[in-house]
Structure 1
């Protein structure tokens, strides 16, 4: 797995918090293997217990700036139906567990899938996305927010960059920045829906099981919307793993799509502008590789955008 974050080791967790976890587990922890994927700096470890069991544990101190994301992940993951995401064993709030958020999941031995054009992983990942879309419509989370409430504010990067265009901006993007800013919000008119969305679909938020099937992990956003959004989120990551834009769009063509192709072009502009803008911000504490990832994602989104717009 590619290292993308700096995780807190299990042994570095305060003793009172570790004691709470072991009480809930019903066994002392005999060993731990930190997982280095993802872009949050909390605990994410596979634990071997004295009684021989294995579990996967995620956690973060309640006073950390990223703590609300863990609260969201607990809210979403705890209501996922069978067949979507990992099985939840237990969870805890800071009020009950010495000041920490905890989410304890089944341990799933596996690896990050490779979503290249010739990989069997791609078909299995798409099957997981298709099943999730069906099982999560209507959303099992009663208070899921419309995706436009939060994400709609994020996907306005071209408008921000147009006000003061960076010198290092890709020449194609710089030449079309006004047109990109003009269309980047036009996907929102077709975003309403009742599907609980993952929103952050990418290979390192998936695991390939030993039998070859793929499970989607890290459900961290309480968003609902149109079922075409998650397949669209995946397209740039297919491009990053070697698909051409035509191949990437063909790979997801059997999944829900917006009725108007211009909506998908606008979404590509929105997500591309988000990565362009975000990649220029300082790295958040404990996450030194996030911006480099966003640079690569922005490049993939530009390739997709040039394909969809046909702009020279």
Structure 2
């Protein structure tokens, strides 16, 4: 799901297709359908319904994030539910649009689910402390998404479920400007209720793991992966998969996804494995190098104030703008 347009969609949407060409790829949002003709576009307003609207009537905001942002983070799961039912999908994968996908999901589900399951998402070793799990990369069965959406409604309407959120709000460790109640809280509670039927994507399954955040060494546990220059160290690309070394298991693992949150989005082009868009990749490479030079030079200039004024970075970037066209 994505509102508007962003440069990294050119990479993440195409990357998803590399190993999943036989699976339909949906982009739920409000963008121009002609920009990415290889995906199926669905407008958000085409998927809303009574539960989507009704949830907003009962939602109680208690998050450091903005009201409308957090509300939609909850409501988006109703859009996924509607999409799955409308297209009669038994299983669907939903990811944030800054996630690069390298795995064939049909093969992953077939190999990883040897038991009855409802959903799969990222749960850390410290989930019980932070009362949080992440759905930035998640797999859902139709039964699973139905149950989760019902939980979302109940959390703000059913007294017993409201009490669960109130208990979390009263946690002094979480009662600050960094934490709050979000859909990640709801995912954690869903995991509590159905732990035997939720696959944890944070831990390797058949040598394959889904990244929590490339900008962190943690995936399931602290200092789990080799970390260098502000990101998980990708030792190599092997058969189309990024390879990271798991320090706890003392072995390399294949990354099914890489999650480029925040400023790491500027690195996305470096990990695209598909064909085409050469000029855009070149432009993003040059742009990144120019930024590195600019900020490195600025740091030096702070120590040597007599240096001549720097060329504005926008002037340098404009010099290379034509490469992206």
The structure having more radius of gyration, on CA atoms, is: 2
TM superposition score normalised by structure 1:
0.30
TM superposition score normalised by structure 2:
0.29
Structure possessing the higher relative contact order (Cα contacts under 8 Å, 6 or more residues apart) = 1
